[in-house]
Amino acid sequence: MTEQPAPDTTDVTARPNVARMYDYFLGGSNNFPADRAAAQRVLEIFPDTGAAAQMNRQFLRRAVRYAVEQGVHQFLDIGAGLPTQGTVHEVVRAVTPDARVVYVDYDEVAVAYAKRLLTDVPGTAVVQGDLRRPDDLLADPGVRRTLDLDRPVAVLLLAVLHFVPDGDDPWAAVARLRDATVPGSHLALSHLTLDGIPPELAERGQAVYRNSSAPLVPRTHTETLRFFAGYDLVEPGLVETTRWRPDGESEVVESHGYAGVGVRR
């Protein structure tokens, strides 16, 4: 699923989009000149961003496989962006063919492409939804039709919470998602941090995203840990992305993000 996006004559493609920038970091082709230019500016500041994006996808695969091993066969991937590189349903169905996956993103262009890419994939749905409005997201017919919320669900929040400002209270949104799922459900998240990064570099990187579709809000370990309220953290806890149950995949040592998996009590 790496086809080139069809031409779009609207102004939406003129502004860098964080989902399409991420696709570019992963080596995908579902991006436009504005996205590539912004991504290149990020790479000039943080040359290992591409490797970090790959590490994030590796964590996603490990977390999804772990959830399946615990008997969870339903996945709600929020902030999915463009499902073109190591998709959740591909990872899950290698283990359990009957898994069901809902991909959610708030960006209409990303949703349109995802729907086209997944048209013929049974057991999946793509919905436009906003993490900041969890009740509306959960009430979406595509979510309700695809997932049974009376059974455990793995909520995936991979590299998305750091695009939600504190003023929108992302902790409350995650808590609402937690309360909507049954005990035994999972939360898997990864989150950018700039702990240990020189302030000048941090400001330059955030400046790029201020001109994109979403601001960048890195958080500390303590701030990120708050998202797991009501969950029991799976060992080794909230750690650098590369250190969450590494399984031999190619990874760099340094990480600019935290990752963890929790089980709802």
DSSP labels, 16-81: --HHHHHHHHTT-S---HHHHHHHHHHHHH-TTHHHHHHHHHHHHHHHHHHHHHTT--EEEEET--
Average pLDDT over residues 213-223: 94
Q: What are phi and psi of 78, to 5 degrees?
A: -100, 130
Alpha helices in 118-198 (DSSP H): 134-139, 141-146, 170-179
pLDDT in tens, 54-112: 899 899 999 999 999 999 999 999 998 876 666 899 888 888 888 999 999 988 878 88
Three-state DSSP state, 240: strand
Q: What is the pLDDT of residue 5?
A: 43
Residue recorded with tokens 């890419």? 117
Of residues 79 and 120, the one with the higher pLDDT is: 79
Domains in the chain with CATH codes: 11-264 (3.40.50.150)
Q: What is the pLDDT of residue 229?
A: 98
Question: What's the whole-model pTM score?
Answer: 0.90
Are 57 and 75 in contact by the 8 Å Cβ rule? The answer is no
Average pLDDT over residues 253-259: 79
| Nearest-angstrom CA–CA distance, 194 and 223 | 12
